[in-house]
Amino acid sequence: MSALPQSSDTPTRFRLTIEYDGAPFFGWQVQKNGPSVQGAIADAVAKLTGTRVIPRGAGRTDSGVHALGQVAHLDLTKPYDANTVREALNHYLKPNPISILDVREMDQSFDARFSALARHYRYRILNRRPPATFDAALVWWVSRPLDVAAMNEAAQLLVGTHDFTTFRSTDCQSKSPIKTLASLTVKQVGREIHVETSARSFMHAQVRSMVGSLKLVGEEKWSAQDLTAALEATKRTACGPVAPARGLYFVKVDYPAEFAE
């Protein structure tokens, strides 16, 4: 995989749509204590261009969290075409479980993070008595039957604008715990229960915290009123056990029409 022979001082901005298995990584963001998805992509860019460029993602994912449609952007000064960038990065990313699904040239005004209108997440719970096998690292196995209807009904109490301190990690760096949850649904999909949620932005561990508390509702250990009380307490100690990272997926990002695919 080589560059085109010409060079230019004017960078080209590329948007990357990325799929990855988060199990081997310490999250999206580059860090000192272990491998990251962002770092792996930067290493692949360095092998292509000779310069290590850090891609800027639409959102961070925690250690072990997966992505079906993470979005990032990066600027390259050499005149590669989008197809060359995609093929080269996928070549150099091997054997990491990361796939660059799509690469597109964008205007410099596009920013993967700040241009985003909404982010969508899905949480997968395998709800059956026998343990998970093939998907053991990709779902949260819960053997006790869960009341999906009760979980979904309770989930609606979290939709809207609230102080989500209860469902916010103590390590969260967000400036404010006030967030607007656009949607939160719980539905049965075969043997799995999918918790799907959308918002402009989420706080650190917010989705996993909400899922963990909704599981208590499904087990009939909490009522819908208990969930409301936990929300209104605005205390981290009021949250139920946090769901494990392996069941969470960053599904996609919405952008304004001028940046639409």
Supply the residues annotated as catalytic: 62
Exposed/middle/buried for 131, CB within 10 Å: 0-12, 13-18, 19+? exposed
Distance of CA 213 to the CA centre of its chain: 19
DSSP string covering 44-84: HHHHHHSS--PPEESS---TT-EEEEEEEEEEESS---HHH
- CA–CA gap between residue 94 and residue 109 (Å, rounded): 31
Q: Which residue has the tokens 């209807």?
A: 149
Residue type, 145: P
